Structure 1
């Protein structure tokens, strides 16, 4: 069977694509085509109908390919890519021991390369949008924006607004002034969308938490805050405020549709109600829970209660299909087994929250996340004739359980072909990886990273020595 040709997909003009199937919100549909023009889906409909409507366009047949929305990573830290493996085997709250010193050791070049490397991995894994929760590197955030833009990925770019250490009384308004400028800075950027960020509630004054909520709501943007992620953070909030982190944010009026709470793994029934009642969104990060968390967010309960949530990698690994599998798998292990729920979302739940659900929580639901006329042409071509997917009985379930990034033929962002079989189409991916490896050794070498556990091979030798 003929395989798609990248040359036929690289045209800057209108494209009429006729894949084997198109993934719509109601599921995969055969016999559809899409017209891509000006970075948008101009039309979605039956192949014959679009061929008649656009006689000047020659259809590009894509047999055996599923055209589906690109994945949306609702929580990432792009400038932490040099230290991703430093989190392995480490206990929770490693940000103080690993991420703060690591990002503090970045200069402008290394921050750019680290962010572009993370964007590269994300694109390879089928993510067309990533939400960066703000860098602690001492560089202008435009460095991160440039890296995302040059890689060709859509980026929700957080500006860190922490001020509690420098201004405990909350009298310095420069943080909010900077936040306002940041929100305006990317108003006309097609790929970069401004966001505000606070590391954890205790990192910002009450005035700043209120102010960032107001500014984001007015701008149609989001504030990203890590909430109820670790036991230690919950306990600190109880000691300081007599309230859990989410309860505290509610008490000062900071909850609402503009808030994207990262992780939210430790939630009481009352806090689930607060999320649902206020329209506050959550980034469910199942791989982060497995690698370095205290708990798994109750995502099936969120879905049932109507809580808005997307899926995030937290910079763990950039594979959208494996993220959806982790989302379902974590729910089955932590909640499904105990209750006899063998479905745990029936597959489609996790695909939906990895695409249009993620776009919604980032404030981009009217721009991306769905294959529909008028929305940005951020999509994937997925080979569904691989051994894992060729004999399909229930494609959404199969994509969740058996999909992986090796099956992604092409990645499009804003209507442009960005990746072809895992390689960038207009820049040198392998060269970036080589440069990143050089810089990472230098950055990690000078960063005051403290690990609680040794590397795996050192641990092996210690165990062998003990056994002897």
Structure 2
């Protein structure tokens, strides 16, 4: 691979495509040694044994990738792209920081800041192996197209949420905006429209029902924060006499179109509601550790056939560390108490970090797998280093020992987007420098309130 350059990973002007021949390919059927993949346009034309594909495509010169695995890109099932300027503000803070941190921060963003913040988050995600992110909706007072433009320009696939809260607003205009949003991005290559409600009590019953129907008709998802914190569960009980998922079921908003973010603190009945309705969950293990009250019972959801993906919630854009956190959190929260030393056997977290995530965000037919006809959203991962070279069970090793430094190349829609951690067709370092300056300006005017001091201040006090 030392002599491999980004130019060798680009399709030619005639559109003949690429024949990539790594040591192994991670397919929906498992890890396949001596497999290859043909990329043509934005999709996989063929995936199969390398010898066979080289015979069937003699006009393509195989790009040999010794010591590498070709695997699906990770799917971040829950992100807040416009919060990237304040990602570290959550450290050490008690739960439910949206009132003190996120609402003031996003309210202080202007158009340039929204674009730069979203593109910065997209760059971090690509560097961490994510080829798709689900943006749960921003409170910034600007057109959502700025977030779309940022992800489009960065080269990442985005499920773009439009916030449809209407408790304090006009329901008719909210629903009209939802229909317009679904139509506006309905035919884009990289932008996939979605609707969003912050929490169930932020929208009227009419809007919850109607957004569910609109999304189902458009084959899109409605993203709603559900059971993220104990306070949210208790607010629902006080206001409606029902827990959040029970309330969504009661008003007719629970179904396959729902993407429930977090879904911790689930009762047996709520697990049954999820299983019976076909709703999906974004399991966000790092967010649970950093700012939550509980860990979603993901192994129980997997056993019951509940659809779920893995989400960062904007904590850190590293797919391998997210997969490791998903397994680690399950083992601490549930496995230790039951003697479950496997907790998903490794493959669960890779699968739900890619194909399962694509299904959860409504893109199962498009991405999340290495297969003929699927979008060519994939990673080339170097497994020749000391972390994974002595391999006995590579999927497990990728979960527990893999890291983003091993990602040699990131492809989205058949195009090479990142090489060795940086974009190949736009200036990543320049964006980072601009983000540093803008973030300082935004923080000076954002009325953010923190409870916990900075780490050095806390050290001084002790």
- Range of TM-score over shorter length: over 0.9
Matches within 5 A, 1:69-468: 69-167=72-170, 172-463=171-462
CA distance in 1, matches of 2:27, 2:37: 12
Q: Deviation string for 1:372-399 (max 9, x for gaps)?
A: 0000000000001011000100000000
Aligned residues: 459
Q: Deviation string for 1:121-164 (max 9, x for gaps)?
A: 00000000000000110111000000000000000000000010
CA RMSD across the alignment: 0.8
Q: Are 1:58 and 2:61 counterparts? A: yes
What SS is found at the alignment partner of 1:173?
helix
What SS is found at the alignment partner of 2:372?
coil
Q: Deviation string for 1:44-96 (max 9, x for gaps)?
A: 11112111211111111111110000000000000000000000000110011
Q: Under a length normalisation based on structure 2, what TM-score does the superposition of the two structures give?
A: 0.98
Measured after TM superposition, the shift of residue 266 of structure 1 is 1.0
Aligned residues of 2:10 and 2:18 also touching (Cα < 8 A):
no
Q: Under a length normalisation based on structure 1, what TM-score does the superposition of the two structures give?
A: 0.97
Aligned residues of 2:254 and 2:279 also touching (Cα < 8 A):
yes
Measured after TM superposition, the shift of residue 26 of structure 1 is 2.5
What SS is found at the alignment partner of 2:356?
helix
Measured after TM superposition, the shift of residue 359 of structure 1 is 0.2
CA distance in 1, matches of 2:131, 2:35: 22
What SS is found at the alignment partner of 1:164?
coil
Relative to structure 1, the CA distance from residue 3 to residue 20 in structure 2 (aligned partners, 3 Å threshold; closer, same or farther) is farther
CA distance in 2, matches of 1:141, 1:166: 18
Measured after TM superposition, the shift of residue 4 of structure 1 is 3.0
What SS is found at the alignment partner of 1:341?
coil
Q: Report the counterpart of residue 466 of structure 1 in structure 2.
A: none
What SS is found at the alignment partner of 1:345?
coil
Q: Deviation string for 1:319-356 (max 9, x for gaps)?
A: 00000000000000010000000000000000000000
CA distance in 2, matches of 1:274, 1:72: 25
CA distance in 2, matches of 1:4, 1:246: 51
Measured after TM superposition, the shift of residue 173 of structure 1 is 1.0
CA distance in 2, matches of 1:165, 1:243: 21
Measured after TM superposition, the shift of residue 2 of structure 1 is 5.0
CA distance in 2, matches of 1:146, 1:272: 37
Q: Deviation string for 1:195-215 (max 9, x for gaps)?
A: 000000111111100110000
Relative to structure 1, the CA distance from residue 407 to residue 3 in structure 2 (aligned partners, 3 Å threshold; closer, same or farther) is farther
Aligned residues of 2:8 and 2:63 also touching (Cα < 8 A):
yes
Q: Deviation string for 1:202-254 (max 9, x for gaps)?
A: 11111100110000000000000000110111111001110001110010110
Aligned residues of 1:2 and 1:63 also touching (Cα < 8 A):
no
Aligned residues of 1:22 and 1:66 also touching (Cα < 8 A):
yes
Structure 1 range deviating more: 207-216 or 158-167: 158-167
Aligned residues of 1:3 and 1:63 also touching (Cα < 8 A):
no
Relative to structure 1, the CA distance from residue 196 to residue 391 in structure 2 (aligned partners, 3 Å threshold; closer, same or farther) is same
Q: Report the counterpart of residue 4 of structure 1 in structure 2.
A: 4
Aligned residues of 2:199 and 2:225 also touching (Cα < 8 A):
yes
Gaps of 5+ in 1: 464-468
